[in-house]
Each structure stands twice: as C-alpha cells, then as structure tokens.
C-alpha cells in the first residue's frame, strides 16, 4: 500500500471515529430526552380516561415518542444497522382527536415496544456514549499534558503508567500513551455505536408478525398498482387499435369494396384503388408492428435484454455507452420489466435532462439484476414532478424491485434500479460495451 493510499485509509478511519464519538455524545444528550418522553407518555396515559382530553393527549404524546424512535432508527442506519418502521398504517378517515385515531395508536404493539425501549435505550445509549467519548478525551489529555505540567509544575497528578510527574522525561512518556489511547478510542467508538444500534433494533425493529403484516400491506399496494398499470396498458392498446389499425382496416375494406364495384365498368380506376389499398395495408401493417413493439419488442425476444438495450441505445439521438454483463437471461416477465424501465429512464433523459451523453450499465450479482442509467445533464430530477419515474417505480415494484435516484442540481443524474431475479441459461456470447 503506497503512502497516498495509506493516508486516505487513515483519514477515513479518523473520520469514522470522530463521527462515532460525536454520535456517542449525542446519545448521552438524547438519553435525557428519553426520560422526559417517558414521563410525558405516562402522564398522557393516566389522563386517557378523561373525556376528550385523552383522545387528543395520548396520540400527541405517542407521536412525539415515535419521532424520537424514528430518529434512533435513522441513527442506527448511519451505523449500518437497518431498522425498519413497524407501525400499522392508519385507518382510512382517521384524524387526530378521533376515536379511530386513538384506537389505532394504543392498539399498535409497536407503540408499547417504543415505550419499553425508552429507559433501557437511555441507559445503554448513555453508557456506551460516555465510554466512546471518554476514551478519546483521555487520549487527548495525555497528548496535552506537557504544557499543563509546565504550568503547574510537579505534583500528585500523572497519566497512565506514570504518576507523580516530577521530570520532563516522565512527561514525555505520556505522549505515546496518549496517542495510543486516542487511536484506540477512535477505533473502538464505531463498534460501540454499532452495539448501541443493535440494542435499539431489539426493541424498535418489526417483529416477525409485524414484518409479515407490513409485507402483506406492501404487496397489496404493489399488486394494486400493477393491476392499475395493466388496466391502463390495456386501455392504451385498445385505443391504439381502435384509432389506428382498426381505422386503417375499415378504410382498406371500403377501398377494396369500391374497387370491386368498378372492376368491370372502370378497370383503370379499380387498379388505382387497388394500389391505394396496397399502400393502406402497408401502413396498417407498420402501425401494427409498432404496437407490437410497445407490448413486447421482437428484438427483446430474439436477442435478449443485452441486445435489446444495445439496439435501443443505437436508435437514440445521443451517444449512449452500454456495458452489460449477464451470464444468462432473466425470466421473460422480468426481462420485459427491466427493458421498459431502462427505456423509460432513457426517454426521460432525452426529454428533460439536456444531456450530451449517457450510459447504461447492467449486471447480475447477489441474486438480483442491477441497472444504472446515468447522464451528464442538468440534474434536478424529481419523481413528484412527473409520471415517468413513478411509472418505473410501479413497474419494478410488481417484481419487488426498487429504484434509487441521485440527481443534484447541475447533474449528473444517476438512476439505480434493482430487480431480484435468477438467470435461466448460461451465457453464450461475451459481454460487451459500446459507446
């Protein structure tokens, strides 16, 4: 490892250690908040039988507790411990101050698990936080003891293995001890923070029953979105058939019928009408092929996802670099969803980003398909400002897929899409890249 790489590694460890020490200091302060929230929640529960007051006070107090536990979940995620929210969704029409809202709050098991965490969470968080803060501070004390000794002179005080500092040599012995303690404290602090996060997960993460319930709720939403999307797609196909191909075929039938009536009386005009019918049939065939490509592109069935994405990139007006590494083909529904998700992302890039170039990267790893679409445009993409990204999200959600967007103002925009899937056949062609 060269000097530059070593410096980067040391700097990264130092930043992690300092961040963990600051997080430990925050845990000490938040421990006091836990105790205040517990007192507030207990007072609210004691006042629950009071008409009207209990309906408003208990949900308000529990909402503050949930804000605190949500903060702890976010802090745990920063310590690389994922803690999901376990709460029931509110009933339809429930508003603050109403009986359904009160009942929703107090009957949720996660509410009582939050309350049960407040005291032990405060004790563990404050204890580990103090250790994470005091060890580095003790190391700093060893490094700064020399000027203190010069100011105070000899005395009963000392550091580490050296007590009753009487000579400069004894003071200098404190420096390596302080450096060692400081480095050890910064190294241990992230682990202490992680232990605190793991302890919080015992109380604040969903139980098995809650996970199953949340999973059912998520599947209900995603399946409903899928049904709506499929219904909208069917309506689009019906509209395209009615307004396009069907109209062409009706016109074609009328032209052929008119040519049939003129065949004996005016052969020249009949031949002219037949030529017009031939042209109309070609136009109808082109429209039908375009409609089929919108349902399932033939190139996708023939050449797979890699070939279809490459063909799509070549057809766009901007240079799109394509790098694909797939040791096989996903199942047909997943392959189709992946293709249309990438196509929609590229369409949004062409329409809105003002990009000069873009790239598509697709790979299969860890039992999932990862697709990354990047452009060098203006950035600032927002799923709330259009239907394109939301459509991609709904399409992927039908297969338990996810989408992540990074689009700061000024760019670049990076869309990361993931689809869990298995590949059905070994690769027969090498991976490739185009630009």
pLDDT digits 0-9 by tens, 227-237:
565 666 666 66
pLDDT averaged over every residue in the chain? 79
What confidence tier does 156 reach under pLDDT thresholds 50, 70, 90? low
Question: What is the pLDDT at residue 29?
Answer: 92
Is position 209 within any domain? no
Q: Give the mean pLDDT of 245-253.
A: 73
pTM: 0.55
Q: What angle do CA 122, 126, 131 make, to 5 degrees?
A: 155
Q: Are residues 147 and 180 in the same domain?
A: yes
| Strand partners for 324 | 362, 432
Q: Are residues 225 and 193 in the same domain?
A: no
Residue 37 has pLDDT above 90, yes or no: yes
**Of the residues 248, 278, 295, which one is the last residue of a structural domain?**
295
Q: What angle do CA 27, 32, 34 make, to 5 degrees?
A: 85
Q: Give the mean pLDDT of 36-43.
A: 92
Is position 214 within any domain? no
Q: Are residues 308 and 264 in the same domain?
A: no
Q: Are residues 136 and 50 in the same domain?
A: yes
Backbone φ and ψ for 157, nearest 5 degrees, come out as -80, 160
Q: Are residues 373 and 326 in the same domain?
A: yes
pLDDT tens digits, 10-33: 677 788 888 899 999 999 999 999
The residue range of the domain holding 420 is 303-434
Stated as kind and residue range, the H or E segment containing 164 is: none
pLDDT tens digits, 328-376: 888 888 888 888 888 888 888 888 878 888 899 998 887 788 889 998 8
Is position 369 within any domain? yes
Q: Are residues 274 and 386 in the same domain?
A: no
Considering only CA atoms, which of 193, 149, 156 is closest in space to residue 175?
149
Q: Are residues 38 and 185 in the same domain?
A: yes
Residue 3 has pLDDT above 80, yes or no: no
Residue 118 has pLDDT above 90, yes or no: yes
Q: Do the strands 368-375 and 358-365 form a parallel or antiparallel pair, or are they unpaired?
A: antiparallel
Q: How many residues does the chain have?
A: 435
**Of the residues 144, 175, 204, which one is the last residue of a structural domain?**
204
Q: Are residues 149 and 224 in the same domain?
A: no
**Of the residues 246, 264, 295, which one is the last residue of a structural domain?**
295
Q: Are residues 164 and 285 in the same domain?
A: no
Q: How many domains does the chain have?
A: 3
Higher pLDDT, 249 or 317: 317
Q: Are residues 245 and 279 in the same domain?
A: yes
Q: Are residues 103 and 200 in the same domain?
A: yes
Residue 425 has pLDDT above 60, yes or no: no
Q: Are residues 124 and 175 in the same domain?
A: yes
What confidence tier does 398 reach under pLDDT thresholds 50, 70, 90? confident
Question: What is the pLDDT at residue 273?
Answer: 77
Residue 305 has pLDDT above 90, yes or no: no
């Amino acid at each position: 490892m060269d000097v530059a790489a070593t410096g980067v590694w040391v700097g990264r460890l130092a930043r992690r250690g300092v961040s963990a020490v600051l997080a430990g200091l925050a845990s000490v302060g938040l421990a006091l908040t836990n105790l205040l929230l517990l007192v507030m929640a207990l007072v609210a529960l004691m006042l629950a039988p009071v008409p009207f007051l209990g309906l408003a006070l208990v949900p308000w107090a529990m909402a503050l507790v949930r804000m605190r536990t949500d903060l702890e979940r976010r802090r745990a995620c920063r310590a690389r411990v994922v803690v999901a929210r376990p709460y029931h969704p509110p009933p339809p029409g429930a508003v603050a101050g109403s009986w359904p809202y009160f009942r929703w709050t107090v009957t949720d098991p996660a509410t009582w698990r939050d309350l049960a965490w407040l005291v032990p969470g405060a004790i563990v968080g404050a204890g580990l936080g103090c250790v994470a803060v005091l060890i580095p501070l003790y190391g700093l004390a060893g490094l700064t003891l020399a000027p203190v000794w010069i100011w105070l002179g000899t005395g009963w005080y000392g550091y580490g293995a050296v007590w009753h500092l009487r000579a400069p040599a004894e003071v200098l012995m404190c420096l390596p001890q302080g450096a060692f303690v400081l480095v050890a404290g910064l190294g241990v602090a992230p682990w202490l923070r992680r232990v605190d996060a793991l302890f919080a997960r015992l109380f604040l993460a969903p139980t098995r029953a809650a996970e199953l319930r949340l999973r059912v709720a998520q599947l209900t939403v995603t399946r409903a979105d899928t049904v709506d999307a499929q219904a909208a797609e069917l309506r689009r196909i019906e509209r395209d058939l009615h307004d396009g191909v069907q109209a062409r075929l009706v016109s074609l039938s009328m032209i052929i019928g008119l040519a049939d009536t003129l065949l004996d009386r005016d052969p020249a005009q009949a031949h002219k009408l037949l030529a017009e019918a031939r042209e109309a049939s070609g136009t109808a065939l082109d429209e039908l092929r375009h409609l089929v490509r919108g349902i399932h592109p033939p190139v996708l069935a023939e050449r797979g996802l890699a070939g279809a994405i490459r063909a799509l990139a070549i057809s766009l007006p901007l240079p799109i670099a394509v790098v694909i590494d797939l040791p096989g083909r996903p199942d047909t529904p997943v392959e189709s969803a992946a293709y249309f998700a990438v196509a929609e992302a590229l369409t949004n890039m062409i329409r809105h980003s003002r990009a000069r170039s873009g790239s598509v990267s697709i790979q299969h790893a860890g039992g999932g398909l990862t697709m990354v679409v990047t452009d060098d445009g203006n950035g600032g993409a927002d799923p709330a400002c259009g239907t394109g990204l939301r459509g991609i999200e709904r399409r992927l959600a039908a297969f338990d897929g996810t989408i992540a967007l990074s689009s700061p103002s000024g760019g670049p925009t990076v869309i990361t899409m993931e689809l869990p899937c298995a590949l059905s056949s070994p690769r027969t062609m090498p991976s490739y890249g185009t630009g």
